[in-house]
Amino acid sequence: MSKSHTDMSRRAFVALGVTTATAALAGCVADGASFQAATLGYRPVPQLGSPEREAFPVPTVDMNKIPKEFHRQYVDHSGRYKPGTLIVSTGTRHLYLIVDETTAIRYGIGVGRAGFAWGGEARVGRKAQWPTWTPPSQMIKREPSLKKWAGGMEGGPSNPLGARALYLYKGGRDTLYRIHGTNEPFSIGQAMSSGCIRMLNKDVIDLYERVPSGTTVVVQHGNATV
């Protein structure tokens, strides 16, 4: 496995609502896209990839402890984005993959402080399985115990980047933002103190299988209205 220069403070450029057949929770994202709960009610999305066959164990997550609005599911959408586009809404803590003209897959995400620092359009320039994490020098100064990872922490269950990372590029250059997994499932749906865009490991494995390098990613910070 090759090492990356990924770091926690920059990592992961690095995602509607509880729904029933009688009540729909709608979400609007700025810049010409809107999403709402599927008219047929909650529709889970089958898993792509096999978390149980990974190089490292992927701990089972008790989804009962995660609000249903952050469970992977199909939602309805309208807007100008082409199928295959990823839309990140930091305000609602959701990531959308446009499937076709009327359907999107919605994932729950966690957003760290760095996740609010950059917005706009980029592309997936590289993908990695069980990526290496390298803490930046500023973080090592604050937490000297991290010095042992100055040369990089190999991928694994304790790695902050989780099972997968999608590296975001703009104009052919690495933005230093990533979409990645997390070993802290409780952070999904939350704004955390560090990191960028994080997903459940099983969700980032699923997303990794669905999107190729070159995929367009749009990050929007406007608060979605529901």
Q: Which of 71, 77, 196, 221 is catalytic?
A: 196
Instruction: Decide if 180 is catalytic.
Output: yes
Q: What is the CA radius of gyration of the chain?
A: 17
Whether 1 shows a pLDDT value over 80: the answer reads no
> Regarding predicted confidence, which is higher, 222 or 92?
92
- Residue boundaries of the structural domains of the chain: 26-220
Q: Which of 5, 77, 180, 221 is catalytic?
A: 180
**Exposed/middle/buried for residue 30 (C-beta within 10 Å: 0-12, 13-18, 19+):** middle
The kind and range of the H/E element at 137 are helix 137-142
Confidence of residue 115 (pLDDT cuts 50, 70, 90): low
Contacts of 42 (CB under 8 A, 6+ apart): 19, 20, 68, 73
The pLDDT of residue 133: 87
Confidence of residue 119 (pLDDT cuts 50, 70, 90): confident
The pLDDT of residue 31: 53
Whether 69 shows a pLDDT value over 70: the answer reads yes
The pLDDT of residue 125: 97
Instruction: Decide if 71 is catalytic.
Output: no
| DSSP classification of residue 141 | H
Half-sphere exposure of 215 (CA within 13 A, CB side): 27
Q: CA 168 to CA 12: how far, in whole Å?
A: 8
26-220 topology per CATH: L,D-transpeptidase catalytic domain-like (2.40.440)
Map tokens 């990191």 to a residue: 195
CA angle 207, 108, 105 (to 5 degrees): 50
The kind and range of the H/E element at 195 are none
pLDDT tens profile 10-63: 433 333 232 222 222 234 444 556 887 777 678 999 999 999 999 999 999 999
pLDDT tens profile 170-200: 999 998 889 999 999 999 999 886 678 999 9
For residues 111-140, give the mean pLDDT.
85
pLDDT tens profile 127-166: 999 999 888 787 788 889 989 999 999 999 999 999 999 9
Q: CA 22 to CA 108: how far, in whole Å?
A: 23
> Regarding predicted confidence, which is higher, 23 or 97?
97
pLDDT tens profile 3-17: 444 444 343 333 323
pTM of the model: 0.81
Confidence of residue 97 (pLDDT cuts 50, 70, 90): very high
The pLDDT of residue 42: 87
CA angle 97, 193, 168 (to 5 degrees): 35
Quote the strand ranges of 65-223, DSSP E.
Answer: 73-79, 86-89, 94-98, 103-108, 110-111, 120-129, 164-170, 173-182, 197-200, 216-220
Pairing status of strand 26-29 against strand 33-37: antiparallel
The pLDDT of residue 222: 61
Confidence of residue 79 (pLDDT cuts 50, 70, 90): confident
Map tokens 């952070």 to a residue: 187
The pLDDT of residue 13: 34
For residues 120-128, give the mean pLDDT.
96
